[in-house]
Amino acid sequence: MTYVTEWGRRAADLYASDYARRYRQHDEELSHVEAYRAFCEWLRDICGRFRKPIDVLDLGCGTGRYFAALKNVNELVGLDASGPMLAEAANPVGADRITAKTIHLVEGDALTHRFLPDSFDLIYSIGVLAEHTPFDNRIVNSVASWLRPGGRFAFTTVHPDSASIPKTPGRTLGHAALPFSPKPIRHWLHTKLTAGGQYADEALIVERLGQRFSIESIVRLESEAHLHCLCVAIREGDVPAR
Ligand SMILES: C[S@@+](CC[C@H](N)C(=O)[O-])C[C@H]1O[C@@H](n2cnc3c(N)ncnc32)[C@H](O)[C@@H]1O
């Protein structure tokens, strides 16, 4: 990759060959994991909301463990910063159940990669934003440009109350003080607790998505790893959803 941020580089370093192989092996054991099934169900349901076949981007696709969950898909693009994860995604779990007409795997940094405007009907991202890469304005601006009007952005974040986040004294104090703080201090504390988009709760998601998206749903889901927010947002625009 020629143009990567520190986040893209970190991801590429972390998801190196050995880890990618273990990650892919673990994919084979997921079919009975409740959270995995819930994520698959969530995606399948979102695909079903479109009335015509759709073009889809999996942002941070990893080993492609959700490819088989999709339905109603013409072109599927998987973007990831890690070459070894993409190499595993060439032979993803449940390959015989994948119905996408074409799959194109692209090595790139979600924060800097360019797709043409209006390229996709659905962009989804699981286990990436506000977890490995900040959920920030760069991502929101790119996704808003890459989505067709009426298209959907479905993504997970790690909620700042997740038990997986180390309870430092500062976080514990900040969390306790939040409900009692006056508005400007509450905003500052909230910014600290969400660490510039490295974690994201409902309020941060709504704020970041701004006027260009309308929120279809935000729910919480506890996986074996984290407390997540699952958000589906619709890109505002003149053209109705397909
Ligand atoms: C926890 S894995 C999730 C993979 C897949 N979405 C899944 O749910 O199995 C995180 C993935 O995001 C990728 N990633 C993290 N930050 C990225 C970035 N800035 N650009 C592209 N990929 C990124 C990593 O390389 C890794 O494959």
Q: Read off the pLDDT of residues 40-60 as tens digits, 9 standing for 90 and up.
A: 999 999 999 999 999 999 999
Which of 11-20, 88-97, 180-189, 206-215 bottoms out in mean pLDDT, i.e. has the lowest? 180-189
pLDDT at residue 242 tops 50? no
Note the helical H segments in 56-132: 83-89
pLDDT of residue 25: 98
pLDDT at residue 9 tops 70? yes
Mean pLDDT for all residues in the chain: 93
pLDDT at residue 95 tops 90? yes
Q: What is the pLDDT of residues 175-203, one digit of tens each?
A: 888 888 888 888 888 888 888 789 999 99
Atom of ligand 1 nearest to the CA of 12: 25
pLDDT at residue 240 tops 60? no
What percentage of the chain exceeds 90 in pLDDT? Answer: 80
Ligand 1 contacts CB of residue 11 (under 6 A): yes
Strands (E), the chain: 54-59, 73-80, 102-107, 120-125, 147-158, 213-222, 227-235
Give, for ligand 1, the residue of 111, 128, 139, 223 to mutate: max count of ligand atoms closer than 8 Å to Cβ: 128
pLDDT at residue 158 tops 60? yes
Give, for ligand 1, the residue of 80, 126, 155 to mutate: max count of ligand atoms closer than 8 Å to Cβ: 80
Ligand 1 contacts CB of residue 15 (under 6 A): yes
> How close is the Cα of 8 to the center of ligand 1, in Å?
9
Q: Structure pTM? A: 0.94
Give, for ligand 1, the residue of 56, 132, 164 to mutate: max count of ligand atoms closer than 8 Å to Cβ: 132
Phi-psi region of 72 (alpha: psi -120 to 50; beta: other; left: phi over 0): left
Ligand 1 contacts CB of residue 86 (under 6 A): no
Ligand 1 contacts CB of residue 127 (under 6 A): yes
Ligand 1 contacts CB of residue 111 (under 6 A): yes
